[in-house]
Amino acid sequence: MTLREASEADVPLLARLNRQLIEDERSPNPMSVAQLDSRIRRWLDANYRAIIFERDSETLAYALFRPDEAGIYLRQFFVCREHRRRGVGRRAFKLLRENVVPPGQSLSLEVLVHNEASLAFWRSLGLREHAMSFRIDS
């Protein structure tokens, strides 16, 4: 597996994968692929970066992140459906830690509380809960 920095040409792919991520995590986000494309472009024009994980030019996973006051904030991490349960996520996260997160800095992320598969994945990698957010929809 290799990783590479995503380019502007990768944004349509990232938007399609982001739509799958939203579906898989059962998020209430109603954005279309076109809207996600625009949002990702705005983020990449700001201070976000995206990494695509590949094997033989086939996309396996991606990560979208930005630096924050504590280290790196991982906004999105997605393993393509057909590559799950094969260690791809574990290897991709290891590459991300080795190549993106500066030594001595932390990495934080958020997981929807009802997303049991994601919670189990992150816990299996040794991440631990740090805070819980609450919200009310009007």
CATH value at residue 95? 3.40.630.30
- Domain-located, residue 125: no
Is residue 51 domain-resident? Answer: yes
User: Containing domain of residue 91, as a range?
Assistant: 2-108
Look at the pTM and tell me if it is higher than 0.85. Answer: yes
User: What total of structural domains would you count in the chain?
Assistant: 1
Q: Does residue 70 fall inside a structural domain?
A: yes
pLDDT at residue 27 in the model: 85
Sequence-ordered alpha helix ranges (H) in the chain: 11-24, 33-45, 88-99, 116-124
pLDDT of residue 109: 87
Answer yes or no: is 131 within a domain.
no
Position 55 in a domain: yes
Query: For residue 79, what are its two tokens?
Result: 């393993």
In a domain, 116, yes or no: no
Helix axes 11-24, 33-45, angle to 10 degrees: 120
Tell me if 119 is assigned to some domain: no
What local confidence, expressed as pLDDT, does residue 70 receive? 78
Query: Is residue 64 a contact partner of residue 76, using CB atoms and an 8 Å limit?
Result: yes
According to the model, what pLDDT value does residue 74 have?
93
Whether residue 120 lies inside any domain: the answer is: no
Q: Which residues of the chain have pLDDT under 50?
A: none
